Amino acid sequence: MHYSENDSSSTKPIMVIVSDGGPDHRVTFGSVTFGSVQVAMLTLFMSLDLDMLVCMRTCPYQSRRNVAERVLNSALQNVSLARTAMPHRYEKLVKNKNTLRDLRQAVVDTPDLGDASMSAPMITIGEIFQRMEIKGNALKSGIPATKLQMKEQFELILDIEPSLSQENLTKKKMEKATLLRGFRKAHCHESAYMFQVKESTCSYCSKHPVRMEMELFSQLSFMPLPLLDEHYKAFTDVYGNPLSDKDLPSRVAIPNEEQITADRQRKLLLVAGKVRATISCDECQKQRCIYSQSVLTAGQHNLIADLKDSRLYSCGGLFPNSSQFENAIVVRQALVCNSPTENQYYSATLVNFPPVCYHCGLGEESLVENDYIQELRQCYATVLPICFICLDDGKKPLTKKPNNLAKRRKLS
């Protein structure tokens, strides 16, 4: 069992957290919630004085493989929950909130709202979970942290990066946190489905010595990633070797013939003039265009908002159909996570979208704007954005429509 009896150290020096990859557990750097999620994991590593922390999520639609979730789903069979009535001013506040996004924003604007409405259901769920067992051990249900406890835990990260603020943990802020980036480089490894933290040799570690026996710790490596050799290699064959996600299915996948055919049949719809909105892939976080022949109705806007909140869309997936909206709003199907951002994203005529990297989809704060890009703009009518990460990896900005200067340079 991995838990803390005194809120200051874990009963075991290594902790593994497995989740279904919801927005509260999105552990990858490219995600918009990197700030809050990874900082929370780092403060957990520090507060429990761990030697190693492994946070992993299941692949999309594979949460059934999470043992704990299977137990919890069994506990909630045939259970109905209802929140308690709130004071009138709170009830009035949520009356017209029709989406999860609206409700979450209401809680941000009125912090007491969440406590007022959800305390009773949370107590009920906790009591139900504590009746369950997993592998012969009674299930423990933790008490949610108070705002004061969360504040105290967040302050631990200030020992590493004093410039951070609990109210501003955006990706842009994280990229400027140079001390934190150095700590992550020395202690962490991240991949599409895992974020790992391990003791290292730095000023922080000198104040928090390893709890394991040094002989065992010297043999401790990061959790390996699956590697193919006709079949996936055994754990013993990959443990301790350099980590690589080159065999991640979404990195090597290509569109199938059925997806390509579906897009060909809709080629008159999948054009820049029909782009109405975007939705981000749950795996790669790239923005994918939503197309419609006509202006989106209020019901269609709500459908898209609900889908974004549920985080169920992934590249190449079908837009959820219903009898009312079937084929009215669509996404391009011949896409995989290694596909670049669609050209229609940049050339959309009805909506203006913020610039993102053509190759990986990172936002405006990560884009390169230097003399090299300016020179390309003098040579080409179109130069699509590129981020500093992709540029450092050797990728080139996508250019179109060379002008006379570019043509002369090619001839010379």
Write down the domain spans for the chain: 14-80+135-212, 251-353, 359-412
Q: The tokens of 85 are what?
A: 């009535």
- Give the per-residue pLDDT at 243: 87
Average pLDDT over residues 119-147: 80
Confidence check: pLDDT of 23 > 70: no
Residues in a beta bridge with 383: 399
- Give the per-residue pLDDT at 304: 84
- The C-alpha atoms of residue 210 and residue 381 are separated, in whole angstroms, by 57
The answer to whether 46 touches 8, Cβ cutoff 8 Å, is: no
Burial class (CB in 10 A: 0-12, 13-18, 19+), 336: buried
Confidence check: pLDDT of 404 > 70: no
Strand arrangement, sheet containing 329-331? 275-280, 287-292, 329-331
Residues in a beta bridge with 134: 137
pLDDT band at 33 (very low <50, low <70, confident <90, very high): very low
- Give the per-residue pLDDT at 9: 62
DSSP 253-309: ----HHHHHHHHHTTTTSSGGGEEEEEE-TTT--EEEEEESSPPPHHHHHHHHHHHH
Indicate the helix (H) or strand (E) that contains 121.
helix 112-129
Confidence check: pLDDT of 356 > 80: yes
- Give the per-residue pLDDT at 407: 52
What phi and psi values does residue 380 have, to the nearest 5 degrees? Answer: -130, 145
The answer to whether 9 touches 23, Cβ cutoff 8 Å, is: no
311 dihedral zone (left: phi>0; alpha: psi -120 to 50; beta)? left
- Give the per-residue pLDDT at 290: 93
Task: Give Cα 335 to chain centroid, integer Å.
Answer: 19
- Give the per-residue pLDDT at 194: 87
- Give the per-residue pLDDT at 355: 93
Confidence check: pLDDT of 275 > 90: yes
CA atoms 195, 196, 202, 204: torsion sign: positive
3 state SS of 180: helix
Confidence check: pLDDT of 396 > 60: yes
107 dihedral zone (left: phi>0; alpha: psi -120 to 50; beta)? alpha
Confidence check: pLDDT of 256 > 60: yes
pLDDT band at 351 (very low <50, low <70, confident <90, very high): very high
Q: Pick the residue with more confidence: 27 or 330? A: 330
- The C-alpha atoms of residue 294 and residue 170 are separated, in whole angstroms, by 35
Average pLDDT over residues 251-256: 76
- The C-alpha atoms of residue 45 and residue 51 are separated, in whole angstroms, by 8
Express as a percent the part of the chain with pLDDT over 90: 21
pLDDT band at 392 (very low <50, low <70, confident <90, very high): confident
- Which of 31-45, 164-178, 341-355 is most confident? 341-355
Of 154, 169, 175, the residue nearest 366 (C-alpha): 175
Q: Could you identify the residue written with the tokens 């450092």?
A: 392
Confidence check: pLDDT of 232 > 70: yes
Confidence check: pLDDT of 78 > 80: yes
Confidence check: pLDDT of 405 > 60: no
Confidence check: pLDDT of 116 > 70: no
3 state SS of 128: helix
Q: How far is CA 190 from CA 55, 154, 181, 197, in A?
A: 9, 21, 13, 9
Per-residue pLDDT tens for 176-199? 788 888 888 889 888 878 889 999
- Give the per-residue pLDDT at 342: 95
* pLDDT, the chain, mean: 81
Confidence check: pLDDT of 218 > 80: yes
Of 116, 60, 122, the residue nearest 93 (C-alpha): 116
- Give the per-residue pLDDT at 53: 94
Average pLDDT over residues 95-115: 77
